[in-house]
Structure 1
């Protein structure tokens, strides 16, 4: 991805008198290196502390026309959008809808939640702007929802993959396009295979968004992973410890910058999400790809055999493996002859195929091999990671 110099500099110019960003940002930058060197990172904690002040603190916006609420720690944090913010978001999403073959005359059922949170209204807004008839079903009541979808000829479905399977089991015909969200989809091989088997001819769309950044990326036809909406945001990946950018293809923390957002603009915002960024040939005009979407959090890190390992990555390693509950404990110790020993204890049962799957996934995901893998019926309470090397 070439650095969006003009868009970044326009954002810096616009934000130089912003109550939060003013005094923190340079007037201009020449390239990605200067941007990373001169623009400070900001954290979710900083954002939450500011936006939960009376009147939303430095992020007050008199022009906001929509407020969603999203849980961040103990607080329900307001997420604001101006009319222009919603229009830009909708325009970007409509390019994706067109790429997926969605058109006026389609009928979309939205089974994401609507109460306070963002997803339901987000999908409804873009579908309606694209000329699609939208049915705001929300979650739950699968039999009734399936009956409505069948009766009204639903061709597009947006919702949780697990709930989508319930709808099909209850008699809903497979839609032409399915937008998945709310749980790991392409990263969960078992769930993805179940949905593909239930919808063999359906265009399956994985997506990644944050309440603060809506949308971030989606699967485009012909793409692997999700491609970033780079007309809305600039995506970097950094080393979580040093804060320095890492080369394409290396694991690190996703950092996002709004290019044109009016309400609550965020610059070099640390998401805490662990991902890999690559650059591809243009896919419907977009070149920035997250091939594995996100697969962990950067809240904790342990260095093992010279490699940075994030315990939350193990969720992806165990996802969809039959017989396992998903609970595990990683133990790092010293070998008698020197070097690190890595043991993984998982809760549940493992046959030979499951064992091979976990060991292979672990090595692929973390770039190191397990010394021992043990399955137990019940994992005792305790920390997810034990480092016994000290």
Structure 2
């Protein structure tokens, strides 16, 4: 079953009697537009509230879970449940990706993501082992020891945080044939990506995007652009965060995901809170949906300036790799005397290239900043200071 509508309808049929979804979902739809029109959006708050009830409320497992991770959502650690079928579906999808990357028996993968309660370490280990790849579950830290182990065991595949991977290479870790990056912005951080590329010149670099409750979402595929959605596992949409209306391909908005196979905790039109752009591409290993810039911010604290929606958290990309900038910033919006908005971007530190910041700001937001000012210290954590409210 490869047609996206067939996949959606199969999941709708499976969920028609689900305690959470039963009264929310139609039995079938004829198009993606009908799906978006008839199926309500689901928030993280709804999910957390249900999971906080005795026995996980309407998400009580109807088959026994075989793996339970926990993930922080607000003040709570929320259990993320996987059935045996859930794990097999993930391993199958990831296995196709490993095939595309030329990874298989004979390879040795060191996993330097964390294990403990969280998901990343076991996620990578299980998919590698399912494909016959030897796996070293090292975890983060202890750089010198990790580099020694990698040399001793002949590591060919590395999975971990890019910044930590650079330290491993400096400590003598063999340059891997394939590197799986996660835990921090990677392909969207031009400076960090260039440093990793320089340290691993012949390595296939894989960026990825996942949520604990939607795992995996998308990865770099050789020959593709951006990260390609595992569309056998998830249906992806981008919506206007204010109205909830679906947005056309190529427009930035909030990423919304629907599980297509998940047995435990199935999420339907789940608002991730992440900003993304979605585009259709030529088929890359059967995948035709891509997030060309991965995700680049959160929808929180959106402010409309000069008629354009600006999401303050997306501006961290503007300062990535700028010498002298600490990374802290603030948008200050005022009303002009004769109407219109005046936008100032305050940047903490002593940035060396203000013109580069201005150009990046324009590309990221599609508007010009009226002023960009460097300040020694920004007090407080607010990303937006909207003074228009004080004058209207």
TM norm structure 2: 0.97
Q: Note the alpha carbon deviations across 1:105-159, whole angstroms, 9 max, x for none.
A: 0000000001011000000001001110000000010000000001110000000
1:1-390 to 2 correspondence within 5 Å?
4-61=4-61, 62-351=63-352, 354-381=353-380, 383-390=382-389
Q: Deviations over 1:248-307 (max 9, x none)?
A: 000100000000110000000000000000111111111101011000101221111111
SS of 2:318's equivalent in the other structure is helix
Deviant stretches of 4+, over 4 Å: none
| 8 Å contact kept, 1:237–1:246 | yes
Give me the whole-angstrom Cα distance separating, in 2, the residues matched to 1:378 and 1:277: 37
Matches of 1:361 and 1:295 in 2, distance apart? 13
**Counterparts of 2:5 and 2:90 in 1: how far apart (Å)?**
21
Measured in 2, the distance between the counterparts of 1:373 and 1:17 equals: 55
Asked if the contact 1:142/1:166 (under 8 Å) is kept, the reply is yes
Secondary structure of the 2:66 match is strand
Any idea what the Cα deviations from partners look like across 1:165-212, whole Å, max 9, x if unmatched?
110111111000000000000111111111000000000000000001
Between the aligned partners of 2:227 and 2:28, the Cα distance in structure 1 is: 30
**Cα–Cα, structure 1 residues 262 and 382, in superposed 2: closer, same or farther, change >3 Å?**
closer
1-side partners of 2:382 and 2:271: how far apart?
A: 25
Residue 216 of structure 2 aligns to a residue in which SS?
A: coil
Corresponding pairs, count: 387
Change (3 A) 1:382 1:106: closer
5+ long unaligned stretches in structure 1: none
- SS of 1:216's equivalent in the other structure is strand
What secondary structure sits across from 2:214 in the alignment? coil
Give the conservation status (yes or no) of the 8 Å contact 1:362–1:370.
Answer: yes
In 1, distance between residues paired with 2:319 and 2:380?
Answer: 18
- In structure 1, how many angstroms separate the alpha carbons of the residues matched to 2:77 and 2:382? 28
SS at 2:274 equivalent:
strand
Cα deviation for residue 357 of structure 1 reads: 1.7
CA shift for structure 1 position 3: 6.9
**Post-superposition offset of 1:380:** 2.1
Moved more, 357-366 or 108-117: 357-366
Q: Give secondary structure in 1 for the equivalent of 2:172.
A: coil
Change in Cα spacing, 1:127 to 1:382, as seen in structure 2 (3 Å) is: closer
Structure 1 residue matching 2:368: 3-state secondary structure: coil
Whole-Å Cα distance in 1 between the matches of residues 157 and 380 of structure 2? 43
RMSD: 1.1
